[in-house]
Chains A and B, each alone.
Chain A
Amino acid sequence: MVNPLSDLKNNEQERLTAELKKHKPDTSFSLVFAARLRDRLRQKAAAYAQSNTGPISNNLKNYMHMKKFILSFGTLAFVALAALIVYPIIQKQYSPGVVSQHLLSGSFSVTPVRENSFGNLQTNTMRQQNSAAGLGGGGNAVVLYAPNEPDPTMDTKISDNSERMMMPQQTYTYVYKGEALIGLADKQSVLRRLGNSGNQSAAGDLVKKFSLGLVDIGKFQQQKLQNFTMVEDREFGYSISVDLNQSIVSISQNWEKWPHPEQSCQTDSCYQQYRIKISELPDDGTAISIANEFLANFGISNQGYGSPSVNNFWRTDYERSTDKANYYIPDSITVIYPLVFDGQQVLDEGGNPSGISVSVDSKTKRVTGVYGLHSQQYESSEYLGETSSEKILQIAQAGGFRSYLPLATERTKGIEVELGTPVSGFVQIWKYDQGQTQELYVPALVFPVKGVVQDGTYLPKQVIVPLVKELLDDSLFPIRAQGGVMFK
C-alpha cells in the first residue's frame, strides 16, 4: 500500500492542518437556542419523573456485586412495596380503626382553591429569557416563541454574519379564516395536578424497619419514601418506576431481560438484518389492541382518557422520502390515550396530546413501555381571562404558544397558512420555581392549521393560545399595533 504521507513534504501535513483549522467556520452558536433546548430537556426529564431509566444504577450494581449480607435494592424495593400493600391490610385486620391507605390514588378529583393560588403562571424561564433579551418594547422579546429572532446575546456584527451564512429560509404567515370568537370568559380555571400522595412518611417508616447492613437506616429521622423501582426478573420482564413525589408510575423494558441481538453487530450488514421493515409494522388497530390488552392485564385504568390513537407523525416523512429503502422505520409504535378534561383535549406545550403513551415494539408486538401514567388529583384556581378576541387572534397569527414555524418578517413575504375556528382545550405547562415543579393545565384555544403548503414543510397541526391574561402579557407576546405580522 502506498503511504500518502510519503507524498507530503516535511511539515506540509501540519501546515495544511493549520490552514484548515484557520478556516474553521463560525458556527453562530446561539446561547438562546442552547437555553431553550436545555429548558425543553429539563421539562422532558421532569415529565419522565425519574422513570424510563435502567432498572438500577451502576453504583448499585457494584454494590450488589459485593455479595455482602445486605438487602439488594430490588429486594428492598420489592419488600417495601409488598409491605406497603400488605401493611395496610394487616393494620386494618389487627388495628381496628386504621383504614388502609393507597400510596397513589386512582380516582379523579378537582378541589377548588382561592384565586391565583398557583402564583404567577409565567415560568422562571420565560421571565429570565425576557430579562436576558433586554425587553422594553423591543422586538427581541419573543425569544421563546419566535425561533427565528436574531440571537440577542450576540453582537450585531456576528448576528449579521450568521444570517448571511445561513441558507435562505422560507417563512410563513398565519392567517385566521375562522368564525368570530365569542364568549371569552373573564375568569379561567387553571388546574394544578397534585403530586405528593401524603403517604410517603408511612412508607418511609416501613422501609426504616429493614437493615441495610452498611448503615443503620433507622437512625435517620422523618424519612419519606420518594421513589422506588422494581424489575421483573424474567424474560421480557418490565421495570416499574414509582415516583411518589409526583405520583407517577412508569413501566419500561427490563433492558437486560429482552433480546437485543443487534447490539452485538460489528458490521453494517449485520445491523441491517435487524432493521425493521415497513411490512413488519403492526397496523394501527393491532397496536391499539395490544396496548388495550396490556392496560387491562395490569389493571391500568384509562378512565378519564379519550379514545386511543397511534402517533404516526413519522409516516408523513416516510411517504415523502425518495429513498424509502433506507428510511429508518421506528422500532416501536406509540399508542396515545389522550387526557380529557370535561370533554376537552389536553395538549402539551408542543401541541401533542398529553396522556398515557404506550410503546408497542414493532418486531415482537409486545408493549415495551407505559409513560404518562399519573394520579388525577387536581386543584383548581381562577385566574383573570383574556377577553379581547382581537389580541387572541393576533397572538394566534403570530404562532401562539411554542410555535416553531419560521414567521415572515417585515422584509420577507411568507407563505400563507390558514388557521380555522378554534376549539376549547387545555395546555399543559411545567413551571419551575425555587426548586419546585408545578404541573399546570391552562385553558386554551386550539386553532387547527388547515391544508398543506406546496414547499412540503411540515406544518404544526394546531396553534395554541392560552386564555389566561398573564400568559399573554405584552412582554411575552409583543404585538405591533398594525399589520398582520406581529414579530420582528
Chain B
Amino acid sequence: MDTKEQKIIARCQSGEMEAFTELYDAYVRKIYDFIFYRTFHRQTAEDLTSQVFLKALDNISKFRSERGSFSTWIYTISRNVIIDHSRVRKDYDDIAEYEHLPTAQNVAEEAHQALQKEQVSEWLKELAPEVRDVVIMRVWDELSYEEIAAVVGKSQASLKMAFSRGLLKLKQHAQTVLSLLLFIKILW
C-alpha cells in the first residue's frame, strides 16, 4: 500500500481523526465517479458518496492494511453502498432502466448528447451486471485487474475473461450504435 496512505491511516488510528480528510481529498472524485457511472444520477451519486465516506470514517479504526489496500477497502464500501441502495431504489440504480428527459433550450446539442448517453447506456445494458461492472471498472474507473480482483473477490484471469466477453458482446450489439454515433458526429 502507498506509504503516504499508510501514514495517514496510522494517524487516524492513533487518534488524529482529522487526517481522514487527506484520504477523502485523494479519493472523493474517484468514488463519486465510480458511483455516478453506476447510477447516472448526480444527486444519488452525491448522497451515496457521502454515505461511503461517512462509513469509512466510522470504520477507519477497523481497517487493517495486511488485508488489502485502502483503495480496495473504499471501493468495496462503495460497491456495497450501491448494492444496498439498489435493493431499496431499484428504479434509480439499474442503468438498464435509466432514462433522462431533455429540458434545455439548445435542442440540437442536447439531442446529440442525450443520444450519445442513451446509446452508451444501451450498450451497457446488453451486458450481464457482473460483466458490466468489470467493463466500467476497467474502462471508466481505470482500475487495474489486480484492483478489480481485490474489490469483487474474483481472480484476475476470470476478470480478463469477463472483460473480453463484455467487449465481444458490445461488438455484437453495438456495431449499429457506433455507426450511428459516427454518422451523428459527421453531421454536427
Contacts and interface: CB of A to CB of B under 8 A. Distances in A.
Interface of A: 1, 3-5, 7-8, 12-13, 16-17, 19-21, 23-25, 27-30, 33-34, 37-38, 40-42, 44-46, 48-54, 56-60, 148, 160-169, 227, 229, 241, 243, 252, 255, 266, 317, 320-321, 323, 326-328, 406
A117 to B, nearest CB: 25
Interface of B: 6, 9-18, 20-21, 24-25, 28-29, 32-33, 36-37, 40-46, 49-50, 53-54, 57-58, 60-62, 65, 84, 87-88, 92, 99-104, 106, 110, 113-114, 116-117, 119-120, 123, 135, 138-140, 153, 161, 164-165, 167-168, 170-171, 178, 181
26 contacts: A4-B161, A4-B165, A13-B164, A20-B135, A23-B116, A23-B120, A25-B140, A29-B29, A29-B36, A38-B28, A40-B54, A41-B54, A41-B57, A42-B18, A48-B57, A52-B61, A54-B13, A60-B14, A160-B104, A161-B113, A163-B103, A164-B114, A167-B41, A317-B88, A320-B88, A323-B88
Contacts of A57: 10-11, 13-14
B15 A229 contact: yes
A48 B33 contact: no
Contacts of A229: 15
A321 B88 contact: yes
A58 B100 contact: no
B68 to A, nearest CB: 12
Contacts of B9: 58
Nearest to B66: A58
Contacts of B15: 50-51, 53, 227, 229, 241, 243
A255 B13 CA distance: 12
B87 A321 contact: yes
Contacts of B153: 266
A4 B170 contact: no
Contact of A4 (B24, B88, B164): B164
B140 A164 contact: no
A128 to B, nearest CB: 15
A190 to B, nearest CB: 24
Given A17-B167, A24-B140, A53-B60, A323 B24 contact: no
A255 B62 contact: yes
A40 B62 CA distance: 21
Contacts of B165: 4
Contacts of A34: 28-29, 32
A446 to B, nearest CB: 24
Contacts of A255: 61-62
Contact of A37 (B16, B50, B106): B50
Given A229-B15, A320-B88, A165 B120 contact: no
A27 B45 contact: yes
A30 B50 CA distance: 13
A294 B127 CA distance: 52
A57 B153 CA distance: 28
A57 B46 CA distance: 31
B14 A56 contact: yes
A57 B114 CA distance: 50
Contacts of B44: 167
A5 B161 CA distance: 8
B101 A25 contact: no
A168 B15 CA distance: 43
B145 to A, nearest CB: 13
B170 A20 contact: yes
Contacts of A52: 17, 58, 61
A41 B61 contact: no
Contact of A165 (B12, B100, B167, B168): B100
B164 A21 contact: no
Given A27-B37, A148-B43, A167-B41, 13 more contacts: A3-B161, A4-B168, A8-B167, A17-B167, A20-B140, A29-B32, A46-B17, A54-B61, A57-B13, A59-B10, A166-B100, A167-B99, A323-B87
B167 A16 contact: yes
